[in-house]
Structure 1
């Protein structure tokens, strides 16, 4: 049996929406998606983008990031997080992680903010690993105290909640979503930024289409350019497909939690394996991350031989050649991220995964674990 790390199956509604585009139906799928997404999240404004990375990049534009500004992020994030910062010739600052959630360590973040109050700090980008959040109330208080903007990277947190409210509606300046996130490539690409700030979103909307302004009462081809933007536009086909995904997301999360519970029950107490320890019952398990106490890579290779694909979230940013050399970073600069990276492994988990496939993964993990000394 071969168990993919992630698998997508298009719904009937997705096919119908895409057919509407191909048939030339006069439906603005992007506008419909933005309206439906804002309502789903509970945010005032939503702006669709071509990809999750472009959502992060547009967020930096909307915040008017400039050369020499500093943006703080977790050392455990996808490379697109510091990448969008560097595109502005601004400086990413890395913070070590919490050993239990793998999210940014708020104690270390607060210590950094306290020690660097007057050093061009612009924003903090917080990545929600596996969809699980940090203490957002504390994070937002810190943002007020130290006068920094909060951008949440919700690539793995679509539909996730914090104290009952969906991520994207809880108080960040901007939240960015990715509909085809790391290691979970879909048949379409797309991203979204949401905010309750009219000022931020008006700037994002302007800059998402080359900084062009048009007079609605004039001819379509008459425009002016009032700022330097880019083209972040989502296609009608992508929007049509994603609209169906959003309608299914809450039901999908229910199924994913069922699978996570199967893993939890079967893998608890297995030698050499540590299962996730959620900090609340709101953990959406967008990723199911276990720890292997020794030889993680050989463990993963054995699973691969049995057809089980796994992932890692993430390779710490200070391990990557560009950031290691650019900022003279040492492997031991972030000890928690180092130890965690050597052990973590993300298992297959997705809504269409069948119980027999889940059981197959469980059986193979137990089998490989039994050979470890």
Structure 2
């Protein structure tokens, strides 16, 4: 009989404000929820423009459209990212290029990125997509300087970085060409779906808005059912109902991050020195800890099974892209092509961390890990 998970990897909790906003939408109140969300989100992160989408992957796909990605173009990304990153690139018959990661943050290694850009300057090299794993950023000033120097656009995947900061500024306002957020991120599913694209670039937002609704245009003076189509777009639009719910999520995010940091501190103090377990570095005060990733030095998968048998869910961020059948076969990638990502993949394990976890839940996770660790030799 399968063990019931009592402390899941993620859990959503609907606030009173979320219920109120959703009720307004259901009751047909004259509130333009999507427009309100876009304005509130732009103000929250400090971006000039925000465009809500039906999902985080839709935001990424729309970003590629806005950059006019074409067949044969190249987009560089971390080999340790969700499959949605290279997936949106391949939908344009463009080519993702994978870069190995840093040992401690699991983010793209900027030295290796710069070496690749320096050795492969080409008009076909269109963009770099950088994933902020768990809300931890790379040296963004250096990244943006690379973008300017090598003439490539910088797109940030902030699926796990809502409310995270870099040098005191929220992700979304630090200088990227486009930043994409996901309100139902990969292994932490929300009750609703939604994404958002932010930018400070007038041309990018104009093109994104055009393409977000089938590239349809209307004459304001004509009948409302008269339209023209001026390009190839798609339907990326967010529903009013989802927007209503997400608006409340934004107002609560800073408090949620505060609680996540408290939980992370409890984990770090409780697991410090436990044999076979390595906790993440707590040096970076701007780490939002949307993920808490530990390393298990022996039999990570059996460790996760043992946790599941104790009712505790876990996650994995991520299976390196070069190990996945499609990319391995398509680009003739070898297992050892990205040694840091491979080594990390064999050890990393993401623990439950979310604002509505109780201290008792956290202590239960800690005590269970300690108990399991004692059985390892």
Counterparts in 2 of 1:25 and 1:213: CA distance versus 1, 3 Å:
same
- In 2, the alpha carbon distance for the partners of 1:24 and 1:365 equals 49
Q: Is 1:260 matched up with 2:264?
A: yes
The equivalent of 2:232 in structure 1 is: 228
Task: Give 1:26 deviation, angstroms.
Answer: 1.1
Q: Structure 2: state its 5+ residue gaps.
A: none
State which of 63, 82, 87 in structure 2 corresponds to 1:83.
Answer: 87
Match of 1:94 among 93, 98, 108: 98
2:65 corresponds to which of 48, 61, 66: 61
Equivalences, count: 373
RMSD: 0.8
Distance (whole Å) between structure 2 residues aligned to residue 82 and residue 32 of structure 1: 31
Match of residue 191 from structure 1:
195
Within the candidate set 304, 322, 325, 2:326 is matched to 322
The separation in 2 between residues aligned to 1:233 and 1:239, in whole angstroms, is 10
The match for 1:294 is: 298
Counterpart mapping for 1:1-373 below 5 A: 2-118=6-122, 120-278=124-282, 280-373=284-377
In structure 2, what is the Cα distance between the partners aligned to 1:279 and 1:229? 44
3-state SS, counterpart of residue 304 of structure 1: helix
For 2:65 and 2:122, locate their aligned partners in 1 and report how far apart those are by CA, in whole Å: 22
- 1:10 aligned counterpart, secondary structure: coil
TM-score (norm 1): 0.99
Which structure 1 residue ranges, 5 or more long, are not aligned?
none
Deviations, residues 214-273 of structure 1 (Å, cap 9, x unaligned) = 122322111111100000010011000000000000011001100000001001111111
- Deviations for 1:190-209, whole angstroms, at most 9, x for unmatched residues? 00000000100000000000
Cα 1:317–1:192 change in 2 (3 A) is: same
Q: TM-score, normalised by structure 2?
A: 0.98
Give CA-to-partner distance per residue, 1:98-152, whole Å, 9 cap, x none.
0010000000000000000125100000000010000000000000000000000
CA distance in 2, matches of 1:329, 1:220: 52
Q: After TM superposition, give the deviation of residue 16 of structure 1 in Å.
A: 0.4
Q: Could you report, residue by residue, the CA deviation over 1:72-100 in whole angstroms, capped at 9, with x for unpaired residues?
A: 00000000000000000000000000001
| 8 Å Cα contact 1:101/1:278 also seen in 2 | no
